[in-house]
């Protein structure tokens, strides 16, 4: 990648540009074609994608425990194993944050309080914009996320755009009902497959489900 350039940086190139800037022309074209030749079904997911790279660069990321634990990182929106769109990231910087520097705000249901999504949650919003044309045609989508992205704020924001959400959350997730959190803290497990839930504002359901460990999550269906 060091010697591959699809963009002419001119006689006075700026140093320390994002790694994807060398490939911006071809990546933009690929995004357009990926969306042209595939009509996604109703169930989609956003997740991390690692591109293996062991060379010398300050832009690679290490995530211990991942099948590919070191390299360049993307966030991708996919459906049935097909990658619909993506954005790149490096330490301290997301590609989409360059293109869209706006924050995303949501009003908490039943109040006049506005709150903003975190930068990681904003990744989901930017990627899911690829579905806007299909939503305008009357199609509906349900996103499945892991605990890196999921929050009740993201549920509300996606609800306004006609997208349902199911996702796991971390133990310290803000706004998770204390009754359900207490079940996570006890040593006695529920019966395998048992589920308990609490309805939050805006008809968002917080739940726990007993697998090998107790799984915490949030669910919002239109």
Q: What's the pLDDT at 73?
A: 92
Q: CA 118 to CA 105: how far, in whole Å? A: 10
88: left (phi over 0), alpha (psi -120 to 50) or beta: beta
Q: CA 19 to CA 90: how far, in whole Å? A: 8
Q: What's the pLDDT at 1?
A: 55
Q: CA 28 to CA 20: how far, in whole Å? A: 11
Out of 5-14, 51-60, 102-111, 133-142, which region has the weakest mean confidence (pLDDT)?
5-14
Say if strands 141-145 and 43-52 run parallel, antiparallel, or are unpaired: parallel
31-81 pLDDT, tens digit each: 999 999 989 999 999 999 999 998 888 889 998 988 999 999 999 999 999
DSSP state of 22: G
In this prediction, residues 97-125 reach a mean pLDDT of: 82
Q: Which of 114, 96, 92, 101 is nearest to 46 (CA)?
A: 96
pLDDT tier, 209 (very low <50, low <70, confident <90, very high otherwise): very high
In this prediction, residues 145-152 reach a mean pLDDT of: 94
Q: What's the pLDDT at 185?
A: 84
Q: What's the pLDDT at 57?
A: 86
Collapsed DSSP state (helix, strand, coil) of residue 85: strand
pLDDT of 109 > 90? The answer is no
DSSP state of 147: T
CB-facing half-sphere around the CA of 32: CA atoms within 13 A: 6
Which one has a higher pLDDT value, 160 or 12? 160
Q: What's the pLDDT at 40?
A: 93
pLDDT tier, 138 (very low <50, low <70, confident <90, very high otherwise): very high
Out of 71-80, 100-109, 131-140, 147-156, which region has the weakest mean confidence (pLDDT)?
100-109
pLDDT tier, 94 (very low <50, low <70, confident <90, very high otherwise): confident
CB 158 within 8 A of CB 131: no
Q: CA 89 to CA 100: how far, in whole Å? A: 14
What is the SS3 assignment for 160-185? HCCEEEEEECCCCCCCCCHHHHHHHH
In this prediction, residues 146-163 reach a mean pLDDT of: 92
In this prediction, residues 145-170 reach a mean pLDDT of: 93
Q: What's the pLDDT at 101?
A: 62
CB 206 within 8 A of CB 198: yes
Q: What's the pLDDT at 149?
A: 94
Q: CA 106 to CA 113: how far, in whole Å? A: 8
3-state helix vs strand vs coil in the chain, percent to 5? 25, 30, 40
């Amino acid at each position: 990648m060091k010697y591959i350039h699809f963009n002419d940086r001119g006689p006075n190139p700026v140093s320390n540009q994002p790694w994807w800037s060398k490939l911006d022309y071809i990546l933009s074209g690929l995004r357009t074609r990926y969306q042209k030749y595939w009509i996604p079904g109703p169930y989609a997911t956003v997740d991390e994608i690692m591109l293996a790279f062991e060379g010398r660069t300050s832009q690679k990321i290490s995530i211990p425990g991942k099948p590919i634990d070191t390299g360049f990182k993307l966030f991708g929106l996919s459906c049935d194993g097909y990658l619909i769109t993506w954005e790149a990231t490096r330490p301290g910087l997301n590609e989409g944050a360059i293109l869209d520097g706006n924050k995303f705000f949501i009003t908490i249901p039943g109040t006049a309080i506005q709150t903003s999504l975190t930068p990681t949650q904003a990744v989901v919003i930017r990627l899911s914009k690829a579905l806007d044309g299909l939503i305008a045609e009357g199609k509906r989508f349900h996103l499945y996320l892991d605990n890196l992205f999921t929050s009740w704020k993201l549920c509300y924001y996606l609800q306004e755009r006609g997208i349902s959400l199911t996702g796991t959350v971390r133990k310290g997730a803000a706004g998770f009902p204390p009754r359900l959190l207490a079940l996570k803290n006890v040593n006695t497990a529920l019966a395998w497959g048992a589920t308990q839930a609490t309805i939050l504002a805006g008809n968002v359901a917080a739940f726990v489900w007993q697998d090998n460990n107790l799984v915490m999550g949030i669910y919002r269906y239109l």
